[in-house]
Copies of this chain bind each other. A is one copy, B any other.
Amino acid sequence: MSGDNFSGFADRLGEATRLTDAERAALARLEEGPVPVKRGEMIQRDNERVDALYLVQAGRLMSFIDLEDGGRQITNLYFSGEFVGPTAAVGDVAHENVEALAASTVCLIDKSALRQLMQDHPRLIAMLFLLARDDRTALTQRLKSIGRQNARKRLAAFLIEMYDRLGMVGLGENDAFNLMLTQEDIGDTLGLTPVHVNRTMRTLEREGLIEREGRMIRFPDAAALRNLAGLTSRYQGVDLSWLSDGS
């Protein structure tokens, strides 16, 4: 398993902005873990207390909401290197469930420690806001996709988003990647039935827009798929100069 560059909060945030030594030290002091999470284990439950802010060090997690009828809506996926719950961490009660899709390890900062961080290192809190913003952007993009695109486009947009978020590090040879989701999971993410997900994937496959081998997926013609999804790439980079410290 190569490419595990970011062992903890300081390294991960340090990638986005130059942190001062004091900030790095503060993060290292607050950070707990890494702790292992089993596949299927829940680290946060809707309507229960929020305990911590999580950084996914390895593995994969998802957040979802339960429906009255027993179904669920998956709201986001969290890959290695991403942060779970940057928005929720400040509240007292969770509004979503968070569960591991595969055996994972997470670092955490206990919620009570966050307050101290806010007092001592306001800049780190600004970082947290940027994470919350990225999370929100993922949500609004999905909202647009579910609300306004048919199954073909939804699936194309979803696969490409996942591909992009996995990045260099998460991709296997030939840019193949493993979603670690059943077709039912994909349906719960995109607002489709598992049957329709299957048909749609098979169609994309026949058209040469995707290749599959088990749950590994590859894009033989990424440009065409991107075009189908109606995507222009975002996330160029963020200008953080305005919050650089004056020291």
- B contact residues around A89 at 8 Å (CB): 129
Assuming A91-B130, A133-B95, is B191 touching A148 (CB within 8 A)? yes
Judge whether B190 and A115 touch: CB under 8 Å: no
Which residues of B have CB within 8 Å of A115?
A: 126, 242-243
Contacting A75 at CB < 8 Å: which of B87, B112, B143, B190?
B143
- Minimum CB–CB distance for A227 against chain B, Å: 10
Judged by a CB distance under 8 angstroms, whether A136 is at the interface is yes
For A87, list chain B residues within 8 Å (CB).
87, 129, 132-133, 136
Q: What would 14 A/B residue contacts be, using CB atoms closer than 8 Å? A: A65-B140, A71-B148, A73-B143, A87-B87, A87-B129, A87-B136, A88-B136, A89-B129, A112-B242, A115-B126, A118-B122, A125-B125, A136-B136, A143-B146
Q: A67-B148, A128-B129 are in contact. List 13 more A-B contacts (CB 8 A).
A: A65-B141, A73-B144, A87-B133, A91-B129, A91-B133, A92-B238, A92-B240, A95-B136, A125-B125, A129-B132, A139-B139, A146-B147, A147-B190
Q: List 3 tightest A-B contacts by C-beta distance, closest first.
A: A147-B191, A90-B129, A118-B122
Give residues in A with beta carbon < 8 Å to B.
65, 67-69, 71, 73, 75, 87-93, 95-96, 111-112, 115, 118-119, 122-123, 125-126, 128-130, 132-133, 135-137, 139-144, 146-148, 190-191, 230, 234, 238-240, 242-243
